[in-house]
Amino acid sequence: MRERFKAKKPDAWRLRYHTQTSGVTLTAQQPHNNIIRVTLQALAAALGGTQSLHTNSFDEAYALPSEEAVQIALRTQQIIAFESGVADTVDPLAGSYYIEYLTTQIENEAIRYIEKIDNMGGAPAAIEKGYMQREIVESAYRYQKEVESKENIIVGVNKFKARKEVSIPILQVDPALEERQIEKLNMIKRKRNNREVKDALDRLYHAADKDENLFPSVIAAVKKQVTLGEICDVLKTVYGEYRAPTIF
């Protein structure tokens, strides 16, 4: 911010960030191993100075998390915060040569990406050219090849496999919940002023059609109890739906 955009205020130089443990590392095989994976990732986030943290539940390779799995994920954060001691100092890894080396690597790679995207004409142009999607697909492909060749060891998946499959209870959503949510939505639609809703959606449509700032129109629509789905339908009408390029 200081070097590229010439920001003057120290507050503008600061980076606040949220961390979520990695969903891609969660395995359906030996799912309890995910508790250890999440713990290590959460600890790394705390050591890295994250201001906000979400810990995945160990059963999320199967479904939405169960109540037991959610509580374990919560206790993971609490044990790190109150029992590990990593929060006793601002920067527990300060002075580590290896951490500084990794930080420099990350910065250099990030700058390389930013410069490449800039040369494409910015992020919207890069998305339209399929660059972002291609990078994600190629990264996933490389990761899968490493797992299958055992270059990347995944405990319980390509090494140290269990002889018996582990069965765990997973969350089953009561179908009645869906019915209650639909009824709540229908009740809101019956009680709101639908003429005001139509006017709000019309203003949003015209703002999108004229390529204006959409946020004032979106906020005004939400205040009239317009639903997210209705807002998205208007934007789809103007912009269409994004389709990732299938040929790179």
Model pLDDT, residue 246: 64
Model pLDDT, residue 200: 97
| Spans in the chain with pLDDT lower than 70 | 245-248
Is the pTM higher than 0.85?
no
Is residue 77 within 8 Å of residue 86, measured between CB atoms? no
Model pLDDT, residue 166: 85
Model pLDDT, residue 198: 97
Closest residue by Cα to residue 29 from 69, 55, 58: 58
Is residue 54 within 8 Å of residue 77, measured between CB atoms? no
- Specify the DSSP element, H or E, that contains 203: helix 194-209
Closest residue by Cα to residue 238 from 215, 204, 213: 204
End-to-end CA distance of the chain: 33
Model pLDDT, residue 28: 95
Model pLDDT, residue 216: 97
Model pLDDT, residue 32: 96
Model pLDDT, residue 165: 85
23's CB contacts (< 8 A; 6+ apart) are 56, 60
